[in-house]
A = this chain, B = another copy of it.
């Protein structure tokens, strides 16, 4: 199969965009990415999105967005894997380009979560969980994660305040990201004081939702000089793994098997290990997910993910910087778009274009996008051009 590179990136600010509908947000990101890549056409468009049907009464986003961005006629579909929809769409694009079906593919993640009239976002997000065995009991997606966090604290003797280091790092990193939802630092004290949402998860444990879109253009590495802007970043690995949706169906609720499977398949493809990764865009939908992901991805021992944060190892100066542009917590989490935001941010880092947030000597970056509470996990490892 062919090696694949990212030759263009685009993103909107994550915000409440009163004046931009879903198609406008997608177009802003796609047209930016195509301009960045220096292309005016493409072979296919894959769109990652979770909630457009329920929240905006619009499905069929593939053809809709293709037409709106000037690509009428091309192959175009929507890919859905809950909050992992963005990276799942990239995985489909990677499959098509690596396998030879297409040369130039645009992958867009988009979500319009505010100013919608048809349903509440909370109703939408719980569709990531098992409707017949979890949400039927009245669980929200926050309360599902609260069960995991409570169990983690009990099993490993961790205090709630220990999770605050994830939030402090994410917000600090968002300050200089113009596309971030929350561009302000927060203190450990502010974390401790935050309003409770679903005990023990408080407001500061939770990522912020918003409207947003991000896009990448990919092509075979061999064609990158022909199409690209001279800033190509290479996809060294792409992998997806799944698990039971319902947490009670997993042998060990505190071990994200699909994170482990996806990450280690990616390490194998890239022929590296976790120690080689220079930065890691982790799926920090809640602080508990950061801890569990770091553990199952091989960056911390079981039950020690929180200590990695407490020891400062996740900051830009630490051994494994995470959420380098703010993460889901502070850049914001427009769910179906998040996986592409992560890949766009890793690309910025590997291009050396991350500004005040630049990780020194970043050569290998990992982006990991999670659907549900760990049921779908997509991992991409990117490498700076040599």
Q: Chain A residues in contact with chain B, CB under 8 A?
A: 1, 21, 23, 50-51, 53-54, 56-64, 66-67, 72-82, 88, 91-92, 95-96, 98-101, 123-124, 126-132, 135, 240-245, 249, 257-258, 261, 371-372, 375-376
Contacts and interface: CB of A to CB of B under 8 A. Distances in A.
A41 to B, nearest CB: 14
A375 B75 CA distance: 11
A377 B176 CA distance: 44
A67 B99 contact: no
A241 B96 CA distance: 15
A247 to B, nearest CB: 12
B79 A132 contact: no
A154 to B, nearest CB: 26
A81 B81 contact: no
A289 to B, nearest CB: 16
A238 to B, nearest CB: 9
A101 to B, nearest CB: 5
18 contacts: A21-B132, A53-B53, A57-B123, A58-B130, A60-B82, A60-B372, A62-B80, A63-B244, A63-B372, A67-B375, A73-B258, A74-B241, A75-B242, A76-B242, A78-B79, A95-B96, A99-B99, A99-B101
A61 B130 CA distance: 10
Given A62-B88, A62-B376, A73-B257, 7 more contacts: A63-B245, A63-B375, A67-B244, A67-B245, A72-B243, A77-B88, A80-B80
Nearest to A78: B80
B81 A63 contact: yes
Contact of A245 (B54, B57, B64): B64
A54 B124 CA distance: 9
Given A59-B50, A77-B376, A81-B77, A64 B130 contact: yes
A54 B54 contact: yes
Contact of A100 (B51, B91, B99, B131): B99
Contact of A95 (B95, B124, B249): B95
A236 B216 CA distance: 31
- Residue with the highest number of chain B CB atoms closer than 10 Å, among A61, A77, A99, A245: A77
Contact of A375 (B58, B60, B88, B244): B60
Contacts of A130: 58, 64
A96 B375 CA distance: 21
Nearest to A261: B73
Contacts of A79: 77-80
B1 A67 contact: no
B95 A241 contact: no
A242 B66 contact: yes
Given A66-B242, A127-B53, A60 B72 contact: no
Contact of A99 (B1, B53, B128, B375): B1
Given A59-B82, A80-B59, A131-B56, A73 B376 contact: no
A76 B261 contact: no
A127 B58 contact: yes
A204 to B, nearest CB: 27
A50 B240 CA distance: 22
Nearest to A127: B59
